[in-house]
Amino acid sequence: MKTQSRFAFAKRAFLNPVSTRATSYIQAHVETGPDGPYKWGDNMIILADCKNVIKLEFFLGNKAARRIALAKINLLIDILTRFRDALMKEIALIEKEK
């Protein structure tokens, strides 16, 4: 009997307005078991922009892998946050020139 996958987290969002017809999106999920945590689950972030797709996997099968998975997502969040801050500053400078 095959068990159905369950997700502790599952989200997909389009990154551009519908009017652009651009197919950019982010999809993320953390798989869990029917009766509790599942260390062999499929945990992934998918980033897609037009024809480019990046899949980032977060393996939780052993203690070292769990530490690496957390460090990986924390680094991604840190870099994306700093990128956003730099982008906001650049936008403000461009708008100020007008």
Tell me: the pLDDT tens digits for 49-91? 988 999 999 999 999 999 999 999 999 999 999 999 999 999 9
Phi then psi dihedrals of residue 59, to 5 deg = -75, 135
Look up residue 86 and give its two tokens. Answer: 């730099």
Q: What is the DSSP letter of 19?
A: G
Segment holding 77, helix H or strand E: helix 63-97
* pLDDT over 50 (residue 1): no
Tell me: the pLDDT tens digits for 8-50? 999 999 999 989 888 899 999 999 998 889 999 999 999 999 8
Q: Distance between CA atoms of 46 and 35, rounded to whole angstroms?
A: 26
Segment holding 47, helix H or strand E: strand 43-49
> Which pLDDT value is given to residue 31?
96
Q: Distance between CA atoms of 4 and 95, rounded to whole angstroms?
A: 51
Q: For the sheet with 25-32, list strands across it.
A: 6-14, 25-32, 43-49, 52-57
